[in-house]
Structure 1
Amino acid sequence: MKNVILVTGASAGMGKDFAQELLKDGNIVYGAARRLDKMEDIKSLGVKVLEMDVTNEQSMVNGINLIIKAEGRIDILINNAGFGSYGAIEDVPITDARYQLEVNVFGAARLIQLVLPHMRKHSYGKIINITSIGGKIALPLGGWYHASKFALEALSDTLRNEVKPFSIDVVVIEPGGVKSEWISIAMNTMIKSSSKGAYAVMANKVASAMDTTEKQNAEPAVITKLVREAIYAKNPKTRYSGGYMAATVLFLRKILSDKLFDKVLMSRVR
C-alpha cells in the first residue's frame, strides 16, 4: 500500500529532495511550504503541493483537512520546515527569537497534534522530525537556533513513548552540514544582529568558519537516504545522523567534558 506522506519545507534543499525521491518510490506525497512558486518543479513530477505557513494555525488545519479529505489518512509526517537565525543572545530581539521557536518548534508540534488522531485511528504512523547535530551541540552566536533544535529533540523523546502503544514511530534525523539555504540565512541574520558592537570580532570569525564549512557540505541526498531508511524499516532507529562532520561532532560531544568540548569548538572560530 502506498504511504500518504506530508513533507513540510518542500520548497528547497532537503525537503524538496525528500518529496521527489519519496514520490519515485510510489508514495502519495504532499509537499508543503509558504512559497508555492518554488515547488512548481516537484509539482510537475506529481507531488501534490500545499501552501502552508507553520506559524499560521488555520493554514496548518486547512492543509491537514485537505489531505484527509482526499486520501482518508496521513501515514508519514516529515517535519522539515525550519530555518537558522544567528546572532548573539544579547543582540537578537526577543521577537525574532520567538519567531525562530515558532517555526522550528511550535509549528512542528502543532502539526503533530493535528495528524496524531488520524494515525491513532489507523494504528499506524511515523513522525520524522528533522532536527540537526545542532540539537546536540551549541555553537557561539547560534543560541536561539540551537534552543529550538534541542527542544525538538526533547519533544521527540517524550512523544516516542507516548505514542508507542498506538503503533506510531517517532524518529529524529540529525543532519550535519548539508547544502541548502541555511548558511546564507543564518549568516545574514548574524550580520544584522551582531556584526557591530561587543560580538563583532566573534561574528566575523564564525562567518569565516561557516564559509569554509559550506564548501564541504553534503548533498541533500545523504539525508534523503536516512529518511527512506526510517520510513521503510519495520522497526526504525530512534535517531539517524549524516552529513558533513555529523559523526565526528556527535562522537566528540559524547566522550568529552563540557569544558573540553568548548575548547575544541572555539578552536574552530579563532
Structure 2
Amino acid sequence: MAEKKVALVTGASSGIGRAAALELGRRGFAVYGGARRVGRMADLRAQGVRPLALDVTDDASAREAVAAVAREAGRLDVLVNNAGYGSYGAVEDVPLEEGRRQFDVNVFGAVRLTRAVLPLMRERGSGRIVNVTSVGGRVHTPLGAWYHGTKFALEGMSDVLRLELRRFGVDVVVVRPGGTRTEWGGIAAEHLLATSGDGVYGAQARRLAAGMMTGSAAERVPEPAVVARAIAAAATARRPRTRYAAGYMARRILLLRGLLPDRAFDRLVDRALAGA
C-alpha cells in the first residue's frame, strides 16, 4: 500500500486555509493545519487534520512546526502558504510599523515556511509549494498599497523559486483567489476605516469599506471550498499550471487587467468603486 502524501497548510484555522486542509484530506493526504489560533481547529482534528501551533512571523515557531511534521510523518510533500491578512489604508496614513507587519505575515511568513521545508523536499527529490496570493497580486485598488505590495512580491518570488527549485524536483505554483465568502473582507474593512475612515481619504475609504463588507456576504461570492479545490488541483496535478485563479470574478478581472492599458484599468477601478 502506497504511503500517504503529507501536506502542511498555514492559516488553517479559518477561511481558505481551513477549506484547503479539509479538501486535501478528502484527496488522501495526511494534513497538518498550522495556525496561531489552535483552539479554533479542534473540529478539524475530528475530521483527520492534525492541528499545529504556528506563528508564521516567528522563526522558531516555523522551524518547530516543520520539525514536528518531520518527526511524526517522516516526509512533507506539499506546503500551502496561505496565512495572511489585508492591511488597508492610505499610504499616507498607514504607520510604517504596520506596513512591515503586513510584509512579515504575507511575504516573510511564506518565505520562513518555504526555507524550513526545502531541506526535506530536496532530500526526497520532490515536493510542491503552493503560494496563495490573490487577484490583488496582479491588479491594484486604492488604499491597498501594502496589501497589494505583498501579493505582487509573493508572485515575483514564486516565479524565482520555481526556477531555482526545479532541478531538485520541487515545483512552485501560485493560486490567485478572487472574491470569497470569508471573514477577510470584514477584517480588512474595519482596518481601513480605523486607519483612513476620517480625514482627507475618508469618503473614498468609506465607499471601499462598504463594498468589502457587503461583497463578503453577497450570495454571488462563493464559499472558500471553490478556492480550496484550486489549491488541491495545484497540489496534485502531475504537470500543474504555474498559476490558478478561483473565486468571484477572478478570471474576468485578470483577463481585463491583461487587455487594458494601465490608465484604462484605473478608470475601470474608479467606476467600480464609485458604485460600491
User: TM-score, normalising length from structure 2?
Assistant: 0.96
Structure 2: distance between partners of 1:43 and 1:269: 41
Task: Find the partner of 1:239 among 236, 243, 255.
Answer: 243
Of 234, 252, 255, the match for 1:248: 252
Structure 2 equivalent of residue 149 of structure 1: 151
Residue among 22, 25, 46 paired with 1:23: 25
Mapped contact 1:177–1:246 kept (Cα < 8 A): yes
SS in 2 for 1:269: helix
User: Which residue of the partner structure matches residue 140 of structure 1?
Assistant: 142
Q: Give deviations 1:136-170, integer Å, cap 9, x for gaps.
A: 01110111000000000000000001001111110
Which of the residues 41, 54, 57 maps onto 1:55?
Answer: 57
| Alignment partner of 2:203 out of 184, 197, 201 | 201
Deviations 1:104-156 (A, max 9, x none): 00010011011111101000000000000000011101110000000000000
**Pairs within 5 Å for 1:4-43:** 4-43=6-45
CA deviation map 1:151-209 (0-9, x unaligned): 00000000001001111110000000011111011101101100111100111111222
Aligned with residue 160 of structure 2, among 158, 161, 174:
158
Partner letter of residue 225 of structure 1? R
The 8 Å contact of residues 4 and 28 in structure 1, kept in 2 or not, is answered as yes
CA contact (8 A) 1:194 1:200 kept: yes
Specify the alignment match of 1:91 in structure 2.
93
Tell me if the contact between 1:32 and 1:52 (Cα under 8 Å) persists in the aligned partners. Answer: yes
Distance 2:211 2:272 in 1: 7
What is the DSSP-based 3-state SS (H/G/I as helix, E as strand, rest coil) of the residue aligned with 1:177? coil
Q: Identity over aligned residues, as a percent?
A: 46
Q: What displacement does 1:213 show? A: 2.4
Amino acid of the structure 1 residue aligned with 2:10: T
User: Distance in 1 between the 2:130 and 2:87 partners?
Assistant: 22
How far apart in 2 are the matches of 1:209 and 1:53? 30
Is the contact made by 2:189 and 2:213 (CA closer than 8 Å) also made in structure 1? no
Gaps of 5+ in 2: none
TM-score (norm 1): 0.98
Aligned: 1:115 with 2:117: yes
| Alpha-carbon contact 2:23-2:229 (below 8 Å) kept | no
Q: What is the Cα deviation at residue 241 of structure 1?
A: 0.1
Task: Find 1:68's aligned residue among 48, 67, 70.
Answer: 70
1:264 correspondence with 2:264: no
**1:221 CA drift (Å):** 1.2
8 Å contact kept, 2:186–2:213: no
DSSP 3-state at the match of 2:273: coil
Aligned alpha-carbon RMSD (Å): 0.9
